[in-house]
Structure 1
Amino acid sequence: MQHIILLHGALGSKDQLQPLAKALTDSFQVHSFNFSGHGGRPFPDIAFSIPLFAEEILEYMKETNIEQADIFGYSMGGYAALYLAKHYPHKINRLVTLATKFHWDDKTAAREVKMLDAKTIQEKVPAFAAQLQQRHAPNDWLVLLDKTRELLTGLGQKNALQPDDYTYITTPSLILLGDRDKMVTLEETTAVYKQLPNAQFGVLPGTPHAFEQVNVSLLAEMITRFK
């Protein structure tokens, strides 16, 4: 049975992907792990970056003796997976991304960083603050927030993947977007889809950015049917 690795997004953890993992168990050997600093995993000694997270995918595959796998990446996880596909194409059989933000510049990064203000989150969405604290314990979620802000700022200054890079990613890829995603635009998603030489594109109806609001059954079916 084919291996599939599920990758969470920024400020997320592998626990968020458990409903999807369960839905895929009849079709795949399902794996997931936490990127460093997430889900209680210790923070790295260096700054967060897409190359760092891609390297952690490779480390996980080495630790679990997986030579090649399908990969599903949600949001930031999809970006890290595409970076891996660019530099280590032999490690990925098929690749599926959902709600991955591809376009980064200073203005975009500043807008996203502004949404990660700790004081605002604590005052306006205390339930989310409590969720982050619980999800990433024993790590300090405020430190995670700061490191994520630094990651996004860095992407705004220099994308880990430039537009022309996608033309060299030959891994069969399914690029998915929710039709109600307010963080990721249709334009940036289809632009990358058109650059990829071996890709398909799909839209999940009635779906915002948050993974918790994704129709898991539909997503699992799309992943399973992707050839």
Structure 2
Amino acid sequence: MTDQVIAADGTALAVQRQGTGRPLVLLAGQANDHTWWDSTRGDFHPAHSTITMDYRGTGASGKPDAPYSTRLFADDVVAVLDGLGIERADVYGTSMGGRVAQWLAIRHPERVDRLVLGCASPGGQHAVERSAEVRRALLRPDAAETLADLMYTPGWRAAHPGPYRTLGDASMPAHARKHHLRASNEHDAWDALPRITAPTLVLHGEDDQLTPAVNATLIAQRIPGARVHVFPGARHAYFEECRPEASDLVADFLARPA
């Protein structure tokens, strides 16, 4: 079911809710819409209703030509929860969605029950960024192929030829892509991470070159009581390549009593 919620600044946000049970908000990566979660959201439906959104600038949401930020995206999530009449939810964010989820838990702790942060970084000067070689490769004409290689191992790609839902929303206008890139690049929650009170699980792929895996440890060291799990040999899209292990791990974490 697709709904529309209006953000504080009047931007229309497309929202999708599936399943029944305790609400679980799933937050996608940079420049992606809700289809990022198409292959895995059903894994959580035995216990949860899953809630996704098209970030502003993507999918069926509004695409204002104005600065975006991970804090703004977090405020948009609050607007979604308000629009659906949900007081509290579990939250699972991957890639830029993990950065957005950080601010959601920091600025709106009363809205977050349990928190899962996947293939994310704390941002700012303390984060370990991708190499200059990777940055250059993402600027080449074959950047889509490079991104697919950063997401998945060659063996997994050979067995799963796609199409992949994690390579960006092709319908995005140029200004929205620019604003998404800046929002992700300017994220810096380092000083605020110790304020997170929600039980937190941090997940990462061991061979992630898009967001190096050491960032998982950095995040977990800043959040009181956070747990870490690293998937051996996996790249950025561990949640697909390591399914169902990753989904089972998340489901088990979310099911534990507080």
Cα distance in 2, alignment partners of residues 35 and 71 from structure 1: 15
Q: What is the alpha-carbon root mean square deviation over aligned residues?
A: 2.9
Percent of matched pairs sharing the same residue:
21
Deviations 1:56-103 (A, max 9, x none): 100110111111000110111111111111111010000101100224
Q: Which residue is equivalent to 1:195? A: 222
Q: Which residue is equivalent to 1:145? A: 177
From the superposition, tell whether residues 134 and 223 of structure 1 become closer, same or farther in structure 2 (CA, over 3 Å). closer
From the superposition, tell whether residues 36 and 72 of structure 1 become closer, same or farther in structure 2 (CA, over 3 Å). same
Q: Say yes or no: does 1:154 pair with 2:204.
A: no
> Is 100-109 or 70-79 further displaced after alignment?
100-109
Question: How many angstroms does 1:216 deviate by?
Answer: 2.6
**Partner letter of residue 172 of structure 1?**
P
Question: How many angstroms does 1:48 deviate by?
Answer: 1.4
From the superposition, tell whether residues 19 and 213 of structure 1 become closer, same or farther in structure 2 (CA, over 3 Å). closer
Residues 39 and 136 of structure 1 are in contact (CA less than 8 Å); yes or no, is this contact kept in structure 2?
no
Cα distance in 2, alignment partners of residues 110 and 144 from structure 1: 25
Residues 205 and 237 of structure 2 are in contact (CA less than 8 Å); yes or no, is this contact kept in structure 1?
no
Deviations 1:100-146 (A, max 9, x none): 022434994895765654xx2xx224667998998342x32x33332
Higher helix share: 1
Q: Which residue is equivalent to 2:111? A: 91
Report the number of matched residues: 216
**Partner letter of residue 99 of structure 1?**
C
Q: What is the TM-score normalised by the length of structure 1?
A: 0.82
Q: Say yes or no: does 1:53 pair with 2:73.
A: yes
Deviations 1:166-220 (A, max 9, x none): 2111110000011111122333321220221131111123320136753231121
Residues 182 and 209 of structure 1 are in contact (CA less than 8 Å); yes or no, is this contact kept in structure 2?
yes
Cα distance in 1, alignment partners of residues 215 and 224 from structure 2: 16
**Partner letter of residue 242 of structure 2?**
N
Alignment map for 1:10-49 (pairs within 5 Å): 10-49=30-69
Q: Which residue is equivalent to 1:176? A: 203
From the superposition, tell whether residues 59 and 113 of structure 1 become closer, same or farther in structure 2 (CA, over 3 Å). farther
Unaligned stretches of 5+ in structure 1?
none
Residues 40 and 135 of structure 1 are in contact (CA less than 8 Å); yes or no, is this contact kept in structure 2?
no
Residues 5 and 30 of structure 1 are in contact (CA less than 8 Å); yes or no, is this contact kept in structure 2?
yes
Cα distance in 1, alignment partners of residues 204 and 33 from structure 2: 20
From the superposition, tell whether residues 153 and 95 of structure 1 become closer, same or farther in structure 2 (CA, over 3 Å). closer
Q: What is the TM-score normalised by the length of structure 2?
A: 0.73
| Moved >6 Å (runs of 4+) | 127-134
Q: Which residue is equivalent to 2:28? A: 8
What secondary structure is seen at the aligned counterpart in 2 of 1:206? Answer: coil
Q: Which residue is equivalent to 2:142? A: 124
Q: Which residue is equivalent to 2:244? A: 217
Residues 175 and 189 of structure 1 are in contact (CA less than 8 Å); yes or no, is this contact kept in structure 2?
yes
Which residue among 135, 149, 153 is the counterpart of 2:169?
Answer: 135
Unaligned stretches of 5+ in structure 2?
1-20, 149-162
Q: Which residue is equivalent to 2:194? A: 167
Cα distance in 1, alignment partners of residues 92 and 209 from structure 2: 21
> Is 38-47 or 12-21 further displaced after alignment?
38-47
Cα distance in 2, alignment partners of residues 221 and 41 from structure 1: 31
